[in-house]
Chain A
């Protein structure tokens, strides 16, 4: 059977399980209606703008600033999450301490907590009269209503991504590798930095990319804490909404198309990292 199917092209391998047509039909119909038609509608509308018009809208100073702020803050937040996420995953996998179960479960809080709730809570904390904000103000540090506030919100939102991609890979590390490194004379620091961390690199990068991609598009948790000052702390998703409210559909469409294009590139990067990691370490990150 395997031989025959390899000599002749067929759309699907024969199977005794029924329902392929129905299941695939439902899937494709729903996917087309909900995802593909709406997204291609966006591309179609933006292609109707014409190239020079489109570029003029995208290269508008306020738009460029908003995109820079979105990508810049998301990048910084992802770097912070990469560092603390790896430490947190390490502590959760390797050590025992009271409340570990609860902390482990709480890592998923940003997935479960609505972004608007996170946004107002972080603002209340980091505003000049908030618990943390009032501690920082005498030091001359302002977090809320500045780009630093955006980073804080994006760190919250992206936190689970690094932990949850690195954690399972860490759990599978074979202790013998560490023992071998130790018997060959490596110090504990050398074992971690030269033996363990390189193995965690693909998972770490995947988590970083996921957190970064999420941060770029994030809206709900950011708008409360950002202050939303044009050219300074205005993120690209907010600018899309502002343009929509001005009924400036071409500008909203153009910004959205650029963001969509960039997130497809990131999706591609994430998939390549995972494919590379599977080839190299034969464990999916």
Chain B
């Protein structure tokens, strides 16, 4: 759809984005507040960042979160990609409806239900709650998001590329690794990033499935937030935002650069 971009359209976008970004911007600003009162500006200071790094509890939680995030995102990406392949490439197999239901349901499933059910599973099979159980839980819910991202890429994938490879003598497995995988790689990478952020964000499922020694950063932040809003939390949040923002912006800049380079190559080729 296109047409005239009216003043009303622009206004609604500007207001909408203001609504989306203002709270985050304010949070970041007040992390540099000298005063302990979060809402009264008392001058610029970075002291909360300093005290943050001396808070051993928060630092430990951050380390746990990072490890859980990397491991679970990686495993979830493998499983999610397989699930996406199964959904797009095999239109009929026994239990396909159940399978696609299990892939899509976790996207909207209330976290309290997922968290509770996983906990009860771990208790039933006798897993000790801790690092392993949190990681398993994160793999389970984030693999579904990866599956959706990769699936949408696979749906627009030109199957004749694979057919060409097989026609030229590559067996299916080789075709997958040499043709399919490189083409869908950007979707897999963004699937990994999505899984990673979901993991480092998660509070509810982690709270249900973690045990002693496996407190994640969101759990730590949550328990402090309940006691009151402090600039130290603002500082911790700002750092998390910064990490994510740098990652996302770097990814999109790299992407953009690739596109620009590609466009330039194409132009050169046409002039050629």
Q: Do A and B bind each other?
A: no
